[in-house]
Amino acid sequence: MERLSGKVAVITGGAGGIGKVTAERFLKEGAKVVLVDLFEESLSKAKEELASFGEILTVQADVSKESEVENYVKKAVEHFGKIDVFFNNAGIEGKVAPLVDQKMEDFDQVMSVNVRGTYLGLKYVLPIMTKQGDGSVINTSSVAGLNGSPGVSPYIASKHAVVGITKAAAIEVANANVRVNSIHPSPVNTRMMRSLEEGMNVEEETLAKSIPLGRYGESSDIANLVLFLASDDSTFITGVQYRVDGGMGAL
Ligand code: NAD
């Protein structure tokens, strides 16, 4: 049986590594999907790649801009009539440098996308879900939202903020049967890790040694968890932080 049959899912960062693989998984499980991302070109490419799996709408938006968030939510509802699942996933890594050397404009940029973008998504999607009396939100944080690590303090700060936003929202909308959880991946094989490896001047092989299962996650590993949280298999779960981290949390 398809696990998201009849559901409408909005995915931000939908043209990126984790977003696109999750979109494919959702489509294969019967959902209709709205892909939101920064660039028209990457959105059209993603739509072309995923078209054979199901119905897709793409909306270009910068998740840190309120009017653009309002617009993608409006477009999703106009096109598909509702939003059952919101994968609030767009994010950026920022620059690699010790805290004392970080430039404040880089700090602001990371906070703007990862914190303001996540918050704005909830501000506009939650009213739709509470009105429906049903919905599941999955916010993408990181292991960096639960632990520290050197060189990426703005990213760490932003992903910890996503935990607070998740808990606050989960409590506010629980009485409307809307669920809000966060996911916490360790390094995943996407563009973002290639950029961080370059910034840290370290190779995948070396970083993978710090993960008990001995490898990076694949986007499909993350999609499996997101699917569980999106589906009716998790209807009694809200306000929770889910690690998907190859055992890093046990260290
Ligand atoms: P990615 O760079 O492949 O995808 C991120 C997507 O977000 C891109 O398509 C990008 O265009 C989009 N995006 C960036 N800024 C945006 C904005 N302002 N508005 C709209 N879209 C924007 O990276 P990914 O690994 O797929 O990252 C997805 C999420 O997973 C991010 O929140 C990231 O922080 C988180 N994460 C990634 C890893 C990892 O190792 N890759 C680990 C933990 C958490």
**Cα–Cα distances in Å, from 222 out to 78, 208, 240?**
29, 17, 16
Segment 163-208, tens digit of pLDDT: 999 999 999 999 999 999 999 999 999 999 999 999 999 999 999 9
pLDDT, average across residues 6-20: 98
Segment 102-113, tens digit of pLDDT: 999 999 999 999
The angle that helices 17-28 and 40-50 make with each other, rounded to 10 degrees, is 30
Ligand 1 lined by 153 (C-beta under 6 Å): no
Ligand 1 close to Cβ of residue 246 (< 6 A): no
Q: Give residue 164's pLDDT.
A: 98
Cβ pair 33, 27 in contact under 8 A: yes
Ligand 1 center–CA 204 separation, angstroms: 18
CA-nearest residue for atom 6, ligand 1, is: 13
Residue 1 has pLDDT above 90, yes or no: no
Pocket test for ligand 1, best of 12, 18, 143 (most atoms within 8 A of CB): 18
DSSP count for the chain of H helices, then E strands: 9, 7
13 CA from centroid of ligand 1 (Å): 6
User: What are the backbone dihedrals phi and psi of residue 238, each rounded to the nearest 5 degrees, phi first?
Assistant: -150, 155
Report, as residue numbers or ranges, the catalytic residues.
155
pLDDT higher than 90, residue 247:
yes
Q: What is the DSSP letter of 112?
A: I
As a whole number, mean pLDDT of residues 74-87 equals 98
Cα distances (Å, whole numbers) of residue 162 to 55, 119, 166: 30, 8, 6
Q: Using the predicted structure, report yes or no on whether residue 245 has a pLDDT greater than 90.
A: yes
Give the residue-averaged pLDDT of 8-13: 99
CA of 170 to the centre of ligand 1 (A): 23
Dist CA 88 CA 14 (whole Å): 10
pTM for the predicted model, two decimal places: 0.99
Q: So what's the pLDDT on residue 183?
A: 99
Best mutation site among 41, 106, 190, 220 for ligand 1 pocket (most ligand atoms within 8 Å of CB): 190
Predicted ipTM of the assembly = 0.99
Q: CA 217, CA 136: separation in Å to the nearest integer?
A: 23
Output DSSP code: residue 216. Answer: P
**What's residue 187's pLDDT?**
98
Ligand 1 centre distance from Cα of residue 189 (Å): 12
Determine the pLDDT at residue 45.
Answer: 98
Choose one of 64, 155, 160, 188 to mutate for the ligand 1 pocket test, by most ligand atoms within 8 angstroms of C-beta.
Answer: 188
Please give the average per-residue pLDDT across 79-102, as a whole number.
Answer: 98
Report CA-CA distances (Å) from 155 to 61, 128, 185. 21, 29, 13
